[in-house]
Structure 1
Amino acid sequence: MGDRKKPGFGKQLADLHRWNAWLVVALAASGLLLSWGAARGWLGEGRAWVKQLHIYLGLVTAILLVLYAPLARKHLKQLRNRPRQRGNLVFVFALLAGWLLSGIILWQFRHLPPRWSNNALVVHDLLTWGGLPYLVYHSVTRMRWAKKPEKRAVRPDAAEPASPDGTGGLHPAASPQPWMSRKQFIQWSVGIALTAAVAPSFFRWLGRSFVGTGGPGGMAGGADPNRMLPAPEPLPDSVRVIGGGAQGRFRVYTVTPLPTFDSGSWTFTLDGLVDKPGRWNWEQFLKLERVVQVGDFHCVTGWSVYKNTWEGIPLARLLREAGVKPEAKYVKFYSGDGEYTDALSLDQANMDDVLVAVLHDGKPIHRDYGGPVRLIVPKMYAYKSVKWLERIELIDRPHTGYWEARGYDNDAWV
């Protein structure tokens, strides 16, 4: 039997193009699902599986780019007289390479400096906002039905009559040219529809990632819907913002509707396996002795905010004053949204930088960012820093937190 004939250059390109198109569709679907706030709740543990699928699809894309590399030179030479197609090829290749490199950094963020992942996340998002609409536009406008030329066949009864000079030749009647071809109409329609759909979300993302939202460290600049009076009086170091002010932008993630609190009904509780359980209203809580510290804030999704000046009560002091019973092994934290919980071992909870915070950069913590009171655990990823903290309970057995039950690591060390 003779050797099987190797596929030609054109078929190789077509196969790679087709596989790449399906991979981009799958990457887009899984990536958008991961970034969709509402999906964080109902996906549950499935979110960890979607994340792994997204990573594996990205690695397969890398393989396709490696397979394409030997063909690239010949392909570009083939397109030397077609500048638009050549430009499209270069753009798509740069887009895929950028997605791949930034995605690898986000995948391996634990082994790299946090600033790398911060920048990689911005690049990954920017390529997504710019790249996906372009790829959708490119795909729709290059479908066969979009490229099919309009049929302008001339009917016999539309011919010109015989000429007066008797030559008698029938000449087709001149058909008026439309001001916009079918292809142009489709291109403009798709472009306008994509702009209308994408632009509002893009500018919201742009504001969060580059412009901020008006407050320190990108904290919300609008009025705080929490009604907490009086406002906490900041300590001198907190007023001076001893870390120089937060560097970076916070992103708001929540799995429940954002709760609202009022100082008239707000309470903070410390109970469980302690000798002296405590319960404070807002005014009593503000009288507890506070400290000021500077620390970095790292989210497991890849972004960080550096040099935050936090003011609050050291958790170790609260536990010491409550008198922890010998059988207590873990500290459980309850969020005021009624849904979110997490836990630290007793040793972790007694670290000297774990703080029950009430101020950030000298100002009350906005509701959107976990105020009026939130936990701060600087050495761990932020899903351990419970927002809207209103209760601490000492327990004798491990507790699986909200995100740990959905696939996150119990080992949350940065």
Structure 2
Amino acid sequence: MESKRGWLKQSFGKRLNAIHSWNAWILVLLTVTGIVLSIGAIRGDLGGWRVTLKQLHIYLGVASILLLMLYAPMIRKHWRQIRTRRNQRANLVFVLALLIGWAVSGVILWQFRHMPPALNNTALFVHDGLTWVGVPYAVYHAISRSRWLKRQQRLEQAAAVVRPPAASEAAAAIPVPAATDDAAAERTAAQAVIAALKASPITRASFLRLVAGVVLVIAVGPAFYRWIKGALDTGGSSTAEYVANDGNRMLPAPEPLPDSAAVVGGGAKGNFRIYTVTEIPSFSSDTWKFAISGLVDRPNAWNWEQFLKLKRTVQVSDFHCVTGWSVYKCTWEGIPLKQMLEAAGVQASAKYVKFYSGDKVYTDALSLEQAGGDDIMVAVLMDGKPIPQQLGGPVRLIVPQMYAYKSVKWLQGIELIEKEHLGYWEVRGYDNDAWVGSSNT
């Protein structure tokens, strides 16, 4: 109660400055944690710290929302104070729009398990887009409002106040003899030209602000263009690039079934984001093996040519990542997991199905009941083409109704086990039951 009274006793200006400072520091921390979380290449290095960092990012976001609520009763008075300053009003509107947009989209992503995937996808696009615009703007705002630049501006204003009158004004104040009127006129005209040249059209402070803006545009512009191009392209253009630049050497290439070749799903709608906990591996059909073992009656191992002879089916399903993005209507072709388990003969003591990635690091598991889903597939093709290495090929698991960390990439081994196994991300804080719409991750 006392702290509330102390806050209210402070002058309006002090409270406004305090909120501005707190918001600036929170924005810095949100930017740093957000950027680190968005870098897929270091997910493995972060390990369990990634979950902690994500929670910190959420707490900082909540703190930012509380600051907005604290500022809300002050908006009207603040708006009146800057009624004659158009630039400050425009800045205030822009900053509030950024903060509110970040807050709303952030809350949706925070509560993603209670939201439909399409809304999560939109929220992620908005959140990322505001970050691309807002962070450079915040950096520019910090530079343009820095104490050093303000000092430069004050010095320039002071120099303008004490600057001697323009040559034309000085000449007009001095009486000139009639006999020299022509000469005086020429001198006055010449001095007026020099005075005009000395009057810089842009101050030093304004020039430095302009330079800072240009540098930020040059630094951020190309990356922003690549992001917006990929984000707005729902035709999976990045997937085509992954296929074209695939580092796997798997021969012969799998022949797609008619439905797969026709891409019955219409083609993936959206673009995959590449996340990995190791360096992306590449594979060759000369050395590649796939095995099913453990508590089964008929363990088996296949080379590439043998694996391609297994009976495959085609299905259309969506792909949902736990970070909020989705790719819709992918046409997958592969071996139903249920079919592989039936062929292997699961023993009565088996309770779980464990999956091994060819990166030799990543594992995950499903209960035997979960693994019996009709749409769980050991996939070999996507949209009629071999799955490229960056998307988990040549073979990956697809579990459409669970978040994608269950869909093990570079799948090479299946083991039937009795005791529960927690996968790579589960031991680092992710939910073991990753059903879309109900996960607590």
Q: Deviation at 1:193?
A: 2.8
Verify the 8 A CA contact 1:216 1:246 in the aligned structure 2.
no
1-structure distance, mates of 2:9, 2:400:
58
Residues 41-60 of structure 1 mapped to structure 2, 5 A cutoff = 41-60=44-63
Cα offsets for 1:262-289 (capped at 9, x unmatched) = 1122111111222211111111111100
List gaps (5 residues or longer) in structure 1. Answer: 167-172
What SS does the corresponding residue of 1:309 show, helix, strand or coil?
strand
Misfit runs of 4+, over 6 Å: 216-219
Residue 323 of structure 1 corresponds to which residue in structure 2? 345
2-structure distance, mates of 1:281, 1:215:
31
Verify the 8 A CA contact 1:267 1:279 in the aligned structure 2.
yes
Residue 383 of structure 2 corresponds to which residue in structure 1? 361
Q: Deviation at 1:239?
A: 1.9
Residue 256 of structure 2 corresponds to which residue in structure 1? 234
State which drifts further: 331-340 or 114-123.
331-340
Change (3 A) 1:125 1:159: closer
Residue 394 of structure 1 corresponds to which residue in structure 2? 416
Residue 148 of structure 2 corresponds to which residue in structure 1? 145
2-structure distance, mates of 1:336, 1:146:
56
In the alignment, residue 131 of structure 2 is paired with which amino acid? T
In the alignment, residue 417 of structure 2 is paired with which amino acid? I
Larger Rg: 2
* Aligned pair partner of 1:62 in 58, 61, 65: 65
1-structure distance, mates of 2:274, 2:418:
33
Residue 370 of structure 2 corresponds to which residue in structure 1? 348
Residues 188-337 of structure 1 mapped to structure 2, 5 A cutoff = 188-211=210-233, 215=237, 220=242, 222-337=244-359
Q: Deviation at 1:413?
A: 0.7
What SS does the corresponding residue of 1:149 show, helix, strand or coil?
helix
2-structure distance, mates of 1:235, 1:285:
15
**Are residue 100 (structure 1) and residue 122 (structure 2) matched?**
no
Residue 187 of structure 2 corresponds to which residue in structure 1? none
State which drifts further: 59-68 or 177-186.
177-186
Verify the 8 A CA contact 1:62 1:100 in the aligned structure 2.
yes
1-structure distance, mates of 2:290, 2:225:
38
Q: Deviation at 1:213?
A: 8.1
2-structure distance, mates of 1:242, 1:358:
16
In the superposition, the TM-score normalised over structure 1's length comes to 0.90
The count of corresponding residues between Structure 1 and Structure 2 is 402
Q: Deviation at 1:221?
A: 5.0
Q: Deviation at 1:187?
A: 1.4
2-structure distance, mates of 1:95, 1:235:
48
In the alignment, residue 109 of structure 1 is paired with which amino acid? F
2-structure distance, mates of 1:85, 1:15:
18
**Are residue 121 (structure 1) and residue 161 (structure 2) matched?**
no
In the alignment, residue 107 of structure 1 is paired with which amino acid? W
* Aligned pair partner of 1:19 in 18, 22, 37: 22
CA RMSD of aligned residues (A): 2.6
What SS does the corresponding residue of 1:390 show, helix, strand or coil?
strand
* Aligned pair partner of 1:28 in 5, 27, 31: 31
Cα offsets for 1:228-280 (capped at 9, x unmatched) = 12111111121222223222221111121111111122111111222211111
Residue 408 of structure 1 corresponds to which residue in structure 2? 430
In the alignment, residue 85 of structure 1 is paired with which amino acid? Q
In the alignment, residue 58 of structure 1 is paired with which amino acid? G
In the alignment, residue 27 of structure 1 is paired with which amino acid? L
Residue 9 of structure 1 corresponds to which residue in structure 2? 12
1-structure distance, mates of 2:235, 2:277:
21
Q: Deviation at 1:180?
A: 4.7
2-structure distance, mates of 1:213, 1:199:
23
In the alignment, residue 324 of structure 1 is paired with which amino acid? V
1-structure distance, mates of 2:122, 2:243:
23
Residue 170 of structure 1 corresponds to which residue in structure 2? none
2-structure distance, mates of 1:407, 1:348:
20
Residue 94 of structure 2 corresponds to which residue in structure 1? 91
Residue 179 of structure 2 corresponds to which residue in structure 1? none
Verify the 8 A CA contact 2:356 2:363 in the aligned structure 1.
yes
In the alignment, residue 387 of structure 1 is paired with which amino acid? K
Residue 78 of structure 2 corresponds to which residue in structure 1? 75
Structure in which a larger fraction of residues adopt helix: 2
2-structure distance, mates of 1:214, 1:112:
24
Cα offsets for 1:40-84 (capped at 9, x unmatched) = 122211111111111111111111111211211221122121111
Verify the 8 A CA contact 1:356 1:373 in the aligned structure 2.
yes
List gaps (5 residues or longer) in structure 2. Answer: 166-170, 176-193, 437-441
Verify the 8 A CA contact 2:235 2:269 in the aligned structure 1.
no
In the alignment, residue 251 of structure 1 is paired with which amino acid? R
Cα offsets for 1:309-335 (capped at 9, x unmatched) = 111001111111111222222111111
2-structure distance, mates of 1:216, 1:12:
48
The percentage of aligned residue pairs carrying the same residue is: 59
Change (3 A) 1:359 1:213: same
